[in-house]
Structure 1
Amino acid sequence: MTAKLARTTLSIAFHLMPAHRAGWAAAMQGEFDAALSDRRPLAFAAGCLLAALRDLPAHIEGRFVLTSHALAYGLLLPSAALLLVSGLSGYPFVGTAGGDLAAVLPGHGGRVLLLNAGNLLSAPAFVLLVLLLSAVHCLLAWWLIERDWARLGAAARLGAAVMTTLLLLGAITALGAVGMIVPLLWMTVELLLLGLLVVRYRQSVEEDRLPPNVVAG
């Protein structure tokens, strides 16, 4: 069990290392075999992981790993969870009495249905769109960490399309766009951050491949 945990820890350390540290990774693998024979694999693997973590801010790929994980776990996944709860709670066709935002949550009093008999059939469409937007945030986080730029771009376009559809549906059902201004701005900020991060990463990788005199010029 200890050996398996040590191998997993070492594998994570290898994953965090940039491509130009492949020689170091190979040397660590050889030393790990020796540590395994000495019955101290976990301590060695933990030391390798700590060294890889300390080295992250020193190279382009490491800085991208730190930034992408912070964006995924600190913004995209919390947004997905919030959208999931909101969709199941009836956002945006359920309002609150007296402006109490907590009243939107299930089991709380003061919930007001904003749809009338003529547009009540649109409620399932609202729920589906909000839940789809939640799923899009999960995909954005996943493909950002995986650096799958094609799928990340497709998910971003899907998110923008879902948000636009929500706005149009709100206008058609006379709910208006006021209740969707915050999620619209939030989604816009998220997509801008993703775009800037990807563009900056690609530029940094290209500059890293060029000779120093070319980069300086």
Structure 2
Amino acid sequence: MTDKPQSLEETTDKPLSLEEDKELSAALDKASESMEQLPDDFTFVTSTGAVIEAIEPPDNIMQRVLAQFPERDPPIVTITQGSKTWKEPNANDPDYVRKRRRRMVLLGEAVLKVNMFRGMVILELPKDQPKYEDDTEWIEEYEAIGLDVPGKEQKTARYLEWLRYRILPSAMDMEGLRKAGNRLEGIKEEDVEAAMATFLPPSGRDADSGVDSGA
């Protein structure tokens, strides 16, 4: 007479054997170890092979940087249609658009410097790359290609130049740092893209003249 097959309930309720218990424990330990080795959401690898972790820069420093680049209101223009006249802001004014874009460039550079100096940690240097304190060749290389090196008394500026040259040399590296910082702050990338879109000329308009370019 054949044995009656065990039901799912009977199978799951049955206690594990000593061997099965060991196998399960080993599998859980391995899974836990793998999870610990996964890269943090706030880390990224640069084009040079450095592993960078974004950390939150001091709030007071970032607030002071932002305060140096206040958002200006667009100029007010007078509009007349028939017998009606009114005033409204003109966000398409060419001079206003240029100044707004320049503000974003300068603000972006200032925020980037804060993030490079106080908003990141180098977890792993590129292969064969010495630490900043031990790197004696970068200054000679810099000067050989005609670039200015900040003086020894300008310690922070000097370190930032080293970071740009040795650790974050490409635009993609800077973008990686920005995105890692945004993830740390909980800022969604689609929100950044939507904000940047406001600095592009409106569809169908000439960016310099602010008037319709269509027929």
TM-score normalized with structure 1 length: 0.22
Q: Give 1 or 2: higher strand fraction.
A: 2
| Greater relative CO (CA pairs within 8 A, separation 6+) | 2
TM-score normalized with structure 2 length: 0.23
